[in-house]
């Protein structure tokens, strides 16, 4: 069965992301794996005495992860959802990448604190993770809560081409949610009618299970335009296509991604070419 991978550091942000992922797994009929990375120096503190007990430390961490997961699997509304755990030693990006390479993961879910300040597993790792992870990645601010009928907005410049896997994942999500309409927000530098019509037609061919409503930003600051749009249209999930050279991704790349997530209280789904 297809799987959702949830990265956790046991923070409140990670707990909120796990709650979101459990509800999403129920809707999409998927399994979940909760994954935690133990830093190579964690539990050792460069102390030879502590090093003798490092195996116990690792085992305690693995047990803590299982107990953390049990707080969700024990809830009546999540009965029947298959949840596994993995606690490995290594950098976050290395542990997550290795697992994805070896398993059929449909979606990676991570949490951030949101408008109250960056913390938790994504924080400073956000731009790095979305740069190396090749599957759809859902970033959940602390204030973002799961909706059974979410308003989904895709921000695009019509220059990128979604990968086949990401198109399938997006279509499956839209179909499972029963979303009758999906917002498309054009954020680009080209205003030629032919370019816009071609972009609209291409997206209409890709998104099979929802009516697309096309919108265009008129503000000089595209970033502000996106944030204003998702607020005024009550967006629950903002979709971005990861491509280093397109207009939208440049807005959310590197240090800006933390600023945007910090400002947003909406879930951000990062897709790929």
- Low-confidence stretches of the chain (pLDDT < 70) are 1, 43-52, 113-128, 219-220, 243-265
**Length, in residues, of the chain:** 273
Interaxial angle between packed helices 222-232 and 255-263, expressed in degrees from 0 to 180 and rounded to the nearest 10: 30
pLDDT for 72 equals 96
Domain boundary among 141, 176, 205: 141
133 shares its domain with 176: no
pLDDT for 118 equals 39
132 shares its domain with 185: no
pLDDT for 248 equals 54
133 shares its domain with 255: no
Domain boundary among 141, 161, 189: 141
pLDDT for 5 equals 96
- On whether residue 201 sits in a domain, the answer given is yes
97 shares its domain with 161: no
What span, in angstroms and rounded, lies between the C-alpha atoms of 142 and 267?
9
121 shares its domain with 170: no
- On whether residue 237 sits in a domain, the answer given is yes
pLDDT for 113 equals 61
Q: Which of 194, 195, 173, 169 is nearest to 182 (CA)?
A: 173
- On whether residue 204 sits in a domain, the answer given is yes
242 shares its domain with 127: no
Domain boundary among 84, 106, 141: 141
123 shares its domain with 94: yes
91 shares its domain with 219: no
Do residues 173 and 207 touch, judged by C-beta distance below 8 A? no
Do residues 84 and 33 touch, judged by C-beta distance below 8 A? yes
- On whether residue 146 sits in a domain, the answer given is no
What span, in angstroms and rounded, lies between the C-alpha atoms of 162 and 202?
11
49 shares its domain with 82: yes
- On whether residue 238 sits in a domain, the answer given is yes
- On whether residue 106 sits in a domain, the answer given is yes
pLDDT by residue (tens digit) across 209-241?
A: 899 999 998 766 777 888 888 889 999 998 887
- On whether residue 31 sits in a domain, the answer given is yes
* Enclosing domain of residue 77: 3-141
Total number of domains constituting the chain: 2
Residue 190 maps to which CATH number? 3.40.50.620
pLDDT for 67 equals 97
- On whether residue 169 sits in a domain, the answer given is yes
167 shares its domain with 109: no
Tracing tokens 């070419």 back to the chain, one arrives at 273
pLDDT for 1 equals 67
216 shares its domain with 114: no
161 shares its domain with 233: yes
What span, in angstroms and rounded, lies between the C-alpha atoms of 19 and 22?
5
* pTM of the model as a whole: 0.86
> What is the DSSP code (8-state) at residue 46?
T
């Amino acid at each position: 069965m297809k799987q959702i991978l949830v990265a956790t550091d046991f923070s409140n942000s990670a707990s909120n992301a796990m709650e979101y992922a459990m509800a999403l797994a129920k809707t999409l009929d998927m399994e979940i794996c909760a994954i935690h990375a133990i830093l190579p120096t964690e539990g050792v503190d460069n102390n030879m005495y502590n090093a003798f007990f490092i195996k116990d430390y690792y085992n305690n961490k693995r047990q803590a992860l299982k107990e953390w997961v049990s707080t969700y699997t024990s809830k009546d509304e999540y009965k029947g959802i298959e949840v596994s755990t993995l606690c490995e030693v290594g950098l976050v990006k290395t542990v997550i990448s290795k697992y994805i390479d070896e398993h059929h993961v449909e979606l990676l879910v991570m949490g951030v604190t949101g408008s109250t300040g960056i913390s938790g597993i994504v924080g400073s790792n956000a731009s790095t993770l979305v740069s190396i992870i090749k599957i759809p990645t859902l970033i959940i601010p602390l204030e973002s809560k799961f909706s059974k009928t979410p308003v989904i907005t895709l921000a695009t410049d019509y220059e990128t081409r979604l990968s086949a896997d990401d198109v399938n994942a997006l279509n499956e999500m839209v179909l499972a949610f029963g979303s009758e309409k999906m917002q498309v927000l054009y954020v680009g530098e080209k205003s030629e009618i032919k370019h816009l019509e071609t972009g609209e037609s291409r997206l209409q061919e890709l998104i099979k299970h929802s009516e697309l409503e096309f919108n265009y930003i008129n503000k000089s600051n595209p970033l502000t335009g996106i944030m204003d749009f998702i607020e005024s249209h009550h967006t629950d999930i903002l979709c971005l296509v990861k491509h280093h050279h397109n207009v939208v991704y440049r807005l959310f790349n590197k240090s800006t991604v933390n600023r945007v997530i910090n400002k947003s209280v909406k879930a951000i789904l990062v897709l790929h070419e």
